Chains A and B, each alone.
Chain A
Amino acid sequence: MKAISVQVEKAVKTYGGVVALAEGNLTVQSGEVMALLGANGSGKSTLSKILTGVIAPNGGQVLIDGKATSFGSPQEARKAGISAVYQELSLIPDLTVAENIWLSHEPIRGGFIKWQEMRANTQQLLDLFKGLYGTNLQPDALISTLTPDERQLVEILKALSFDPRLIILDEATASLDSRQVNRLFELVQTWKSHGMAIVFVSHRMEEIFRIADKATVLRNGRTVGERVIAESNERELVDLMIEGATILQRERLPVVDEQKPVRLAVENLRTNVLRGVSLQLRDGELLGLGGLQGQGQSDLLMALFGAIRCEGQIVLSGQARTFHHPRAAMKADVALVPGDRGSEGLLLIRSILENLMLASWSRYRTPIAFSKARADGGQIAQELKMVMSSLDAPVNSLSGGNAQKVVIGKWLLRSPKLLLLNDPTKGIDVGAKAEFYNLLDRLRDAGTAILFYSSDDDELLGLCNRVLVLHDGEISAELREDKLTRENLVAASMGASA
């Protein structure tokens, strides 16, 4: 592979009055993993897209191998050997996995696409993650039928298919489970040894310290420093990222009051994926769901929310219930925060406020108390540290993490009695995560029962008293107190019963 060195100097990008990137600097070369760090809305994705020619900067310059270059379009960046895994993914839902991976560079002979070869090549790429995805993921599967983690894998393979010299991974790990991340990191190591340059964006600090050689930190659209990872620590990096930040340091988790009433009791719940799950959740309890991707965690939450069909018994607030539609669940004060904001149905071109209020208008009666709604919306936006120009800005002008905060805010505004969280902190920065955890504590104190699935093991370890690990549609282990360790969590994820 031909060596590459890339330098971004003083890149600027503004949207009308909004400054997305004020002064972006970044240097990366062959055989190096450069972490790109920063809070939500600090300009990481913007800087990445400037490198791939998707966004034309208003100022500054990009030097490739020392030569000033300006990409007029994504294909020019591609030719220079740069490709990216985009945070919001760049997949076409109506095309198949193979068609997506090879889009715009399909193998052809005499103008005709060689479908067989394309499929075979796709299978080869998929084999890089062999055994780490569901049976659904085939070269001929439509993207729209895949789960979020499978889509993420396809997006990674798509970027790889261009044989890049520089690959940008913009939150490529946010939807992946620990095994998938491990495999990706193995691959990154090989790429690195082959002389590829890698830019790695993630909000999981633990990953940064595992894989990156150096880190460039952005704050409010400005590059504020570069550090060698081996000579730095989490504290220093977070301080650079967020002024006066507090990293989550929990001494002790709040204990669950066994006297509190049982809010939710599930008996032998079955869906296409679940093979009989039973659990109990008390008011004020935060129960974690762990395990690898697609073992039924989402199914469980969706079934409880009435979004998919299920069999078995659900007792909510002492009453046997079956919800046939999310509306019915919402009426019963159940809320579900999805992590997959793409399919969750944010109204992208509508304002942040409208999106926040979407599920709660009924609480403001007629005539709608607009100013009250605006005040509540503003408060939750502030609590979640949303970076935005105003509540009236459209959601599609938000950074990925900030859009996810809108999804969270929307459901918290309903003050639910049972809160279902489906990997809710995908793409949310350390500072805002800490805020979110505090918010969960407050909800818990107020008696809300919370069922919390996270693909991030650290999050489960840091937040929950009790974690149910799912494997193949069943609960393979219930971990609590001193049994709740990383080792046990990993072991149970693989199906070992504890």
Chain B
Amino acid sequence: MNNRAVQLLNRNPYLLSLLLLIIMVVINRALQDNLFEIGPLNGNLRVFTPAILVAVGQTFVVIAGGVDLSVGAILSMTNAILATQIPQDATGDVFVRALALAIGAGLLAGALNGFGVTVLRLQPIVTTYATSFIFAGVALRILPEPGGRLPRELTSFWRNPLAVSPDFALPMSLIVIGLLILFWVVLTNIRYRQNLFATGSNAEAAYSTGIRVNWVKFSTYLFSAFFATLAALALTLGTGTGNPRAGDQMTLPSVVAVVLGGTRLAGGQGNAVGSIIGALILGLIGNIISFANLDSWVRPLVDALIIIAALAIPGIFGVMRRLTR
């Protein structure tokens, strides 16, 4: 590989993920020929949306040099809140109140993580792993068994594609993805972005420069918790019911998606758009595994391999750079 290519990849690591995504789409398409029809497309994307949202939130934490292992539990907790607070006959008012409650609880959870990391100065892994048990416990307290049923109007609003014109409909989840990208583009053009990346890259230097490093770190946990709550909303609307263990399998994949998207696990470099791509890749891998009738243990194996590869990538890049000098 020549120098230019290495440099391009170094600066835009998600280009590699984009390539991987295309490969996954091609394989998926070969196994499922109606993949691009509105029905399956809508269904697939809707199922992927919670994971995408969680991954976007996780991106903030990872860029700042931390990791949030409690996102799954926060999702479970807020999912339980939404399912119990929105009865089948809920009005708009009730829905808004429930949503506000869930977001409030989510942010509180995020604040607790941020407090542990910035004030108590505990390791992010330790803090969020510990708090995840609290949030998981709260979820079970609120909703001991899967249950609850949301109003049909509400769920069908989310489930059905939005008819833009008589012969063109847009999956709601695609709109969400569009909004997420827009959100990231806006964010990359404000000072917060600079503070975030500086903090993750060299916190000491950032502090000397006058950046409130602790606030930045704190804020990333609020972001990850907030997006986990949005993920819970997407999940609750998608399934129409609640499950206190809904987030059990969401945490590790969120980290994997972030890494797949080209965000550096050590912090200081990254991209939420990449994380969206990463989550899509993981979703498609899940599809492929089930279509190809592979055993279900393949999925965690794939996750693990991706993490190991991600940890090795900086080293590989380093070797390439040495060789091209």
B residues within 8 A CB of A111? 190-191
B residues within 8 A CB of A309? 325
Does any Cβ of B come within 8 Å of A90's Cβ? yes
Does any Cβ of B come within 8 Å of A63's Cβ? no
The answer to whether B205 and A94 have CB atoms under 8 Å apart is: no
Closest-CB distance, B21 to chain A (whole angstroms): 24
Pair count A-B, CB < 8 A = 69
The answer to whether B191 and A108 have CB atoms under 8 Å apart is: yes
Which residues of chain A (64-106) have a CB below 8 Å from chain B? Answer: 73-75, 78, 86, 89-95, 99, 103-104, 106
The answer to whether A90 and B209 have CB atoms under 8 Å apart is: yes
A residues within 8 A CB of B191? 104, 106, 108, 111, 113
Closest-CB distance, A290 to chain B (whole angstroms): 24
Question: What separation, in Å, do the CA atoms of A106 and B210 have in the docked complex?
Answer: 12
Chain B, residues 212-229, CB within 8 Å of chain A (1/0): the string is 100000000000000000
Question: What separation, in Å, do the CA atoms of A357 and B299 have in the docked complex?
Answer: 45
Question: What separation, in Å, do the CA atoms of A272 and B321 have in the docked complex?
Answer: 14
The answer to whether A104 and B202 have CB atoms under 8 Å apart is: no
Asked whether A78 and B268 contact (CB < 8 A) given A89-B205, A112-B190, A113-B190, the answer is no
The answer to whether A94 and B269 have CB atoms under 8 Å apart is: yes
Question: What separation, in Å, do the CA atoms of A433 and B294 have in the docked complex?
Answer: 68
Closest-CB distance, B136 to chain A (whole angstroms): 34
Residue from the set B191, B208, B268 with the largest chain A CB neighbour count within 10 Å: B208
Asked whether A103 and B198 contact (CB < 8 A) given A272-B325, A308-B325, A309-B325, the answer is yes
Question: What separation, in Å, do the CA atoms of A113 and B198 have in the docked complex?
Answer: 16
Does any Cβ of A come within 8 Å of B195's Cβ? yes
Closest-CB distance, A459 to chain B (whole angstroms): 29
Closest-CB distance, A274 to chain B (whole angstroms): 13
A residues within 8 A CB of B197? 92, 94-95
Question: What separation, in Å, do the CA atoms of A347 and B37 have in the docked complex?
Answer: 56
Asked whether A52 and B208 contact (CB < 8 A) given A92-B197, A94-B268, A95-B197, the answer is yes
Does any Cβ of A come within 8 Å of B201's Cβ? yes
A residues within 8 A CB of B15? none
A residues within 8 A CB of B194? 95, 99, 103-104, 106, 113
Does any Cβ of A come within 8 Å of B206's Cβ? yes
Q: Chain A residue with minimal CB distance to B195?
A: A104
A residues within 8 A CB of B209? 74, 90, 103-104, 158
Does any Cβ of A come within 8 Å of B189's Cβ? yes
**Contacting residue for A95 out of B189, B201, B325, CB 8 A:** B201
Does any Cβ of B come within 8 Å of A247's Cβ? no
Chain A, residues 275-311, CB within 8 Å of chain B (1/0): the string is 0000000000000000000000000000000001100
Total residues of chain A contacting the partner, CB 8 A: 28
Chain A, residues 101-133, CB within 8 Å of chain B (1/0): the string is 001101010011101000000000000000000
The answer to whether B325 and A91 have CB atoms under 8 Å apart is: no
Chain A, residues 381-407, CB within 8 Å of chain B (1/0): the string is 000000000000000000000000000
B residues within 8 A CB of A86? 208
Chain A, residues 123-159, CB within 8 Å of chain B (1/0): the string is 0000000000000000000100000000000000010
Chain B, residues 179-214, CB within 8 Å of chain A (1/0): the string is 000000000011100110110111011111111100
**Contacting residue for B211 out of A89, A103, A142, A308, CB 8 A:** A103
Chain B, residues 29-61, CB within 8 Å of chain A (1/0): the string is 000000000000000000000000000000000
Asked whether A74 and B210 contact (CB < 8 A) given A94-B268, A308-B325, the answer is yes
Question: What separation, in Å, do the CA atoms of A95 and B197 have in the docked complex?
Answer: 8
Does any Cβ of B come within 8 Å of A54's Cβ? yes
A-B contact pairs, 14 of them (CB 8 A): A52-B208, A78-B210, A86-B208, A89-B205, A90-B208, A93-B268, A95-B201, A103-B209, A113-B189, A113-B191, A115-B189, A142-B11, A158-B209, A308-B325
Q: Which residues of A contact B (CB under 8 A)?
A: 52, 54, 73-75, 78, 86, 89-95, 99, 103-104, 106, 108, 111-113, 115, 142, 158, 272, 308-309
Q: Which residues of B contact A (CB under 8 A)?
A: 11, 189-191, 194-195, 197-198, 200-202, 204-212, 268-269, 325
